[in-house]
Amino acid sequence: MNSEELFLRSKQVVPGGVHSPVRSFASVGGTPVFFREANGAYLKSVEGKDYIDYCLSFGPLLFGHRHPEIQEIVEDTVRRAWSFGACEPYSLELAEFITSRIPWVEKIRFVNSGTEAVMSALRVARAATDRSKILKFDGCYHGHLDQLLVKSGSGLAGLSSSDSKGIGPEIIQNTLVLPLDDEKALEELFQTQGNQIACLIIEPIPANYGLLPQRTEFLKKCRELTTKYGVLLLFDEVISGFRVSFQGMAGITGIVPDLVCYGKIIGGGFPVGAYAGKKDLMDLVAPSGPVYQAGTLSANPIGMRAGLKTLTKAWNENPYPELETKTKKLTSGIVKLLTESGDSQWEAVTYGSLFWLKAKTKEPIRTIANIPADHKVKFATFFHKLLNHGVYLAPSGYEVGFLSTVHTDEIIEATLNKTMKALQEEK
């Protein structure tokens, strides 16, 4: 069966044919490719075609698909146990590994996804402060929990409106929303409501609505005001943690959050999330404290050991400088080819091994309001050209791309060759 046939079948039994919306190609058009296996930097479709993968399961695979050292640990674990629902040493090893290397992570609790991590951390923040309001920023994604599926509402600054049906106004009445990159709006909101806010949550490098690197002064202002008003600062490092550096954006900026959420890389490709922070905050969590949070499959040994192997390699090998160099090489190569093909309207935003191809703008883009309106359509055309030639980007102009350590210089060269052919073909 080819992808076309499988997608038709899938649509009969699964909403939209997919288990997560962006997989459906809704943003780029066409039929999604069904993959049957993956290895290193490559995906293989059910048709048997190979693709160089720059989506990498949306970020978890820092060392590529099925890295042999990680696969060995996974196979060893599968022979021992799949799940205990009881105490075991594997999650302890991962917890100790992280707490001993990230000073603001004094205690950590493992869950099964980034969404779950954020949801639980917010509960802790509310309990710790005895306040109800949460402040988030337009253009930051924190998973699909009800309270945070919001965008800024029209009218008064800070007011929010729901981003999904099924989330009534009563559920988001305590969620405040501000634009990124605006210290003045932040100051004003804190002056009026600062002492009612439990928590300010931010992706310290927003990477779910394009890639929108923030000015460090803006992040510093978040830390300064939260401290001043007794608000907890929650860094959502689900994408950036162990990706932009081992210690994530907090490590790079030197801005210390009160709470931090991880996901993606922390499970080495298996479903793991975590929330973490200062001891006094984390000790509020059951059974040591009154904040309830639990999970049947939490700290699953396969994810724990794949995660530990992944983080150990990241710590020992420090792949970050080289990943950054390779990411720049790839994206500057692509932009050059686009320019040579007569389309000089592109540029690349990169941060470590994250990249975003976008329309050229005079100023760097730091808020979603400044993303050019025709970006989506332009990206869709480019996406399909590359797809035809065996290069798989995340299927949306608002998703970032990822590199792994197994994207060698040769593979980057091959990608650029395919890009060149793809761009020549249309003429």
Ligand X SMILES: *Cc1c(COP(=O)(O)O)cnc(C)c1O
Kindly list the residues in this chain that would bind ligand X in the complex (CB under 6 A). 113-115, 118, 141-143, 203, 208, 236, 238-239, 263, 273
What backbone phi and psi angles, to 5 degrees, belong to 291? -90, 115
Q: Which residues on adjacent β-strands are paired with residue 111?
A: 273
CB of 362 to ligand X, least distance (A): 28
Residue number, 67 or 142, with CB nearest to ligand X: 142
CB of 273 to ligand X, least distance (A): 6
Residue of minimal Cβ distance to ligand X: 114
421 belongs to the catalytic site: no
256 in Cβ contact with 270 (< 8 Å): no
130 belongs to the catalytic site: no
Residue indicated by tokens 């190609």: 25
CB of 287 to ligand X, least distance (A): 25
Residue in 133, 136, 264, 418 annotated catalytic: 264
236 belongs to the catalytic site: yes
Residue number, 121 or 411, with CB nearest to ligand X: 121
CB of 270 to ligand X, least distance (A): 11
Residue in 90, 236, 351, 398 annotated catalytic: 236
Residue number, 267 or 301, with CB nearest to ligand X: 267
Residue number, 157 or 252, with CB nearest to ligand X: 252
Residue in 90, 141, 275, 392 annotated catalytic: 141
CA dihedral of residues 255, 256, 260, 265 (deg, nearest 10): 60
CB of 117 to ligand X, least distance (A): 7
CA dihedral of residues 96, 99, 102, 106 (deg, nearest 10): 180
Catalytic residues: 141, 236, 264
